[in-house]
Amino acid sequence: MTGQALVAAVDIGGTKIAGALVGAEDGELYHRVERPTRAKESGKVVRDALAEVVEALAGTPEWAGVELLGVGSAGPVDTVRGTVSPVNIPGWRDFPVVREVRELAGGRPVVLTGDGVAMTAAEHWLGAARGFDNALCMVVSTGVGGGLVLGGALHPGPTGNAGHIGHISVDLDGAPCACGGRGCLEGLASGTAIAGHALAAGWRPAGGAGGRADAAAVAAAARAGDPLALAAFARAGQALAAGIAAAATLVELEVVVIGGGVAQAGELLFGPLRERLGEYAALSYVRGLRVRPAELATDAGLVGAASAALRATARAGEGA
């Protein structure tokens, strides 16, 4: 099928667990497979879904040549201990995902990466952050996450959670967040927050009580000119502007890449974000900061998990 080395990648999210073999040179996906996470069920049920994905990859003709696995997971993650405690998978708390996947993969080495960092690795390798040495890549979806590239290298931090911009405070008197903080960016700019703000302001979905009341429905209403829906996206854009400016001021970024389901709203989100960014990014070294939509779509987690694993292995080899 391919003459290049292949890395097995697994992407663990609250809705699905996906897997594929990924080309180490070009990021192409082979033998993509996915299973529903069934996150509301027990931890064992979720573990069984993970096992099905890894076992499906192990049954492919190319598996014998696979020497490395990358796992990207919703977080928080602990890359030192090899555990995950995804907020959206209640049955997994300090779940030893590295140990479990290593056993399923016949003892092959496994590298764990948070999903925001994995997305960053993918966009820096093949997407909108390619060619930049200092970048923040963000996922704006049900939650808000992110990862950093600093000095040309992926910067996951000591436990793999660096760049988790969704839980910096952008509203000192804001509502309490599930993380334990207050006024977090996620609570203002996530898809959940956009829909909640619109509903609180009096917006109602098409079709009445039976209609969809999520960020996609708010986006549809905003495109039709609904002022309450437009205001919800404007508020999210302003919150993102404040959070991005803070991050850029701290670590001197060149580009910010935004992906995830909410980013699919396009200029409804990016328009107010760019308009308000200048109010917060005022210092000379952050003025004119580039903000771009992500180029990789739903497979960014798989591509990024593979890329992050390859980078980590290369760093380990250099330090040997």
* 304, part of any domain: yes
Residues 278, 214 within the same domain: yes
Q: Which residue has the tokens 């923040």?
A: 136
What are the pLDDT digits (tens) for 139-198?
898 889 899 999 999 999 999 889 999 999 999 999 998 888 999 999 999 999 999 999
What are the pLDDT digits (tens) for 4-44?
899 999 999 888 999 999 999 999 999 999 999 999 999 99
* 274, part of any domain: yes
Residues 283, 143 within the same domain: yes
Residues 179, 233 within the same domain: yes
Q: In the chain, what is the straight-line distance between the N-terminal and C-terminal CA atoms, in Å?
A: 33
Provide the pLDDT confidence category of residue 275 given band limits of 50, 70 and 90.
very high
Residues 262, 133 within the same domain: yes
Provide the pLDDT confidence category of residue 209 given band limits of 50, 70 and 90.
low
* 123, part of any domain: no
Q: By C-alpha distance, which of 230, 211, 232 is closest to 222?
A: 230
* 121, part of any domain: no
* 315, part of any domain: yes
Q: How far is CA 273 from CA 63, 70, 240, 249, 292, in A?
A: 44, 33, 6, 16, 11
Residues 48, 169 within the same domain: no
Q: What's the whole-number mean pLDDT along residues 55-60?
A: 96
Residue 271's pLDDT is 96
What are the pLDDT digits (tens) for 222-254?
999 999 999 999 999 999 999 999 999 999 999
Q: How far is CA 247 from CA 98, 171, 193, 288, 292, in A?
A: 30, 15, 21, 14, 16
Residues 144, 186 within the same domain: yes
pTM of the model: 0.87
Residue 319's pLDDT is 59
Residue 305's pLDDT is 95
Domain count, the chain: 2
Q: Which residues neighbour 320 within 8 Å (Cβ) at sequence distance 6 or greater?
A: none
Q: What's the whole-number mean pLDDT along residues 301-306?
A: 94
Q: Residue 291 and residue 314: Cα distance in Å, rounded?
A: 30
Residue 76's pLDDT is 87
Q: What's the whole-number mean pLDDT along residues 257-264?
A: 91
Residues 102, 144 within the same domain: no
Q: Are 234 and 272 in contact (CB under 8 A)?
A: yes
Residues 158, 257 within the same domain: yes
* 205, part of any domain: yes
Q: How far is CA 201 from CA 23, 196, 204, 263, in A?
A: 48, 9, 9, 22
Residue 1's pLDDT is 53
Residues 269, 158 within the same domain: yes
- Domain containing residue 48: CATH number: 3.30.420.40
Token readout for 17 is 């667990």
Rounded to the nearest integer, the mean pLDDT of the chain is: 92
Q: Are 29 and 92 in contact (CB under 8 A)?
A: no
* 100, part of any domain: yes
What are the pLDDT digits (tens) for 107-144?
999 999 998 999 999 999 999 999 999 999 998 988 89
Residues 281, 141 within the same domain: yes
What are the pLDDT digits (tens) for 72-121?
998 889 999 999 998 889 999 999 999 999 999 999 999 999 989 999 99
Residues 190, 240 within the same domain: yes
- Quote the domain boundaries for residue 211: 128-293
* 30, part of any domain: yes
Residues 44, 193 within the same domain: no
Provide the pLDDT confidence category of residue 45 given band limits of 50, 70 and 90.
very high
